[in-house]
Amino acid sequence: MTEKFVIVGKKKIEGEVFVSGSKNNAGPVIAATLLSKEPSVIENLPLVEDVLKMLKLLQSMGADVEWLGEKKVRINTEKVDPEKMDYSLVGQARVSVLLMGPLIYRFKKFKIPSPGGDKIGLRPISTHLEGFKKMGVEVYSNGAFYHFDGEKIKGGAEIVLSEFSVTATENLIMLAAGLEGKTVIKMAAAEPHVQDLGKMLNDMGAKISGIEAHTIEIEGNTKLKGVNHEIIPDYLEAGTLFVVGAVTPGILEIKNVTLNHLDSFLEKMEEIGVNFERGNNFLKVNFSENLKPTKIQALPYPGFPTDLLPIAIPLLTQAQGKSLIHDPLYENRLNFIHELRKMGADIEIVDPHRAFVFGKSPLSGIKISSLDIRAGASLIIASLMAEGESIIEDILQIDRGYEKIDEKLRNLGADIKRIKV
């Protein structure tokens, strides 16, 4: 059974809304519990499909997952056996790639299928694999599985990543955290969820420095311990709700926001002309009509987040003039623009990485389909702006990354229904 959203646009959306825990932070934090045989307690977990599947993956291997509250779990990985892994779950969640580093540390030899995830373009794990090899891990693939042999693994390597890969950085610092010696990772990603993983690993007994920059030094500890850790607020959800507030009538107050995680995003929103106020861990956004065109390029943190680029596109359809959007990372990131064009958006795809957005364009409700997490969120925003009724199909993609987004919006006045089909 699948589900769809039915949304009637042009409704007043106002009130207070709380940002959930970060999906992109929860994945590596759950994976890191494998680094110790002692139990860890994780708080503020977002109840989204990718996170729930990650927990099921650990359980399939023998981990004990005990819910201590609605969003709080105790995870004990003492009896984990990777040979018991439910391989079908790996293909359903890209976040499963983060099991590689911790499993190499704990078990040395194992196999895992290629991870699943969004359809936003080729997402090879070659950066992960090259990093593992620099640390002494033998890796080969027979097409269906990746096989790892870490019997000759060693700390003390110096690794220069071929790209600012978030998940490769996370995998490598998790592996290095349990090895003797100082491992150095250059060209490392520095996103907020990478920094928070470093904090968790330090609490477990590693010594990690430079995590806020792009060169990380890891002094490992072979006896990592269990910890209590709280997931950071999801700055991508905060950015999504921000744009909702900018394009719909009413005043929206977004609470539980770490503002400095959104520095580049908020700078760009000011440039466009969005009317908003910053507060102590909150943002207040007003409906903004006189918007200016701009150029947005996705860049590694602290640059404009690639996952907020699709979110900004509906906003730019209401700016007076021509805007340029550029995502150099994923060649299929902009495919969902065809869905926005069905709604009346005037957007020209220049090449797989760039598009011109011409405004101001009125949008109309129609049947559309979610291609990935952020594309689905973009279509929700467009539907809330549009005249008439929109139907968004394949919303499982949205549920993978946003916790009860329909319920949150409905509580703010949106006319959005979840329907089983």
Task: List, for residues 257-316, the tens digit of each pLDDT value.
Answer: 999 999 999 999 999 999 999 999 999 999 999 999 999 999 999 999 999 999 999 999
Q: What is the pLDDT of residue 123?
A: 52
Has residue 147 got a pLDDT over 90? yes
376-388 pLDDT, tens per residue? 999 999 999 999 9
Has residue 118 got a pLDDT over 60? no
- CB neighbour list of residue 393: distance below 8 Å, 6 or more residues apart: 2, 4, 367, 368, 369, 370
Q: What is the pLDDT of residue 331?
A: 78
Q: In the structure, what pLDDT confidence band is assigned to residue 93 with cuts at 50, 70 and 90?
A: confident
Q: What is the pLDDT of residue 84?
A: 97
Over pLDDT 90: what percentage of the chain? 92
Structure-token match 């078990």, residue found:
107
Q: What is the pLDDT of residue 121?
A: 40
Has residue 351 got a pLDDT over 70? yes
Has residue 117 got a pLDDT over 80? no
Has residue 357 got a pLDDT over 50? yes
Q: In the structure, what pLDDT confidence band is assigned to residue 228 with cuts at 50, 70 and 90?
A: very high
When the pLDDT of each residue in the chain is averaged and rounded to a whole number, the result is 95
**Pairing, β 64-69 against β 282-286:** unpaired
CATH class, 23-230 region: alpha beta
Average the pLDDT over each of 28-37, 107-116, 217-226 and give the range with the smallest value: 107-116
Tell me the residue ranges of DSSP E strands in 203-337. Answer: 207-209, 215-219, 228-230, 251-255, 276-278, 282-286, 295-297, 321-326
Q: Please give the average per-residue pLDDT across 205-221, as a whole number.
A: 97
Q: What is the pLDDT of residue 1?
A: 75
Q: How far apart are CA 114 and CA 94, in angstroms?
A: 9
The residues spanned by each domain of the chain are 3-20+233-420, 23-230
- Give the tokens for residue 73: 């779990």
Query: Of 50, 64, 86, 118, which residue is the catalytic one?
Result: 118
Q: What is the CATH number of domain 3-20+233-420?
A: 3.65.10.10
Q: Which of 57, 29, 121 is nearest to 330 (CA)?
A: 121
Q: Please give the average per-residue pLDDT across 51-60, as a whole number.
A: 96
Tell me the residue ranges of DSSP E strands in 89-144. Answer: 109-113, 138-141
The answer to whether the bond into 302 is cis (omega within 30° of 0) is yes
Q: How far apart are CA 155 and CA 406, in angstroms?
A: 46
The answer to whether the bond into 119 is cis (omega within 30° of 0) is no
Has residue 256 got a pLDDT over 50? yes
174-197 pLDDT, tens per residue? 999 999 999 999 999 999 999 999
Residue 81 appears among annotated catalytic residues: no
Has residue 143 got a pLDDT over 90? no
Is 382 strand, coil or helix? helix
Q: Which residues of 25-41 are buried (b: 16+ CB within 10 A; e: fewer)?
A: bbbbbbbbbbbbeebbb
Residues forming a β-bridge with 286: 251
Has residue 120 got a pLDDT over 70? no
Q: What is the pLDDT of residue 91?
A: 82
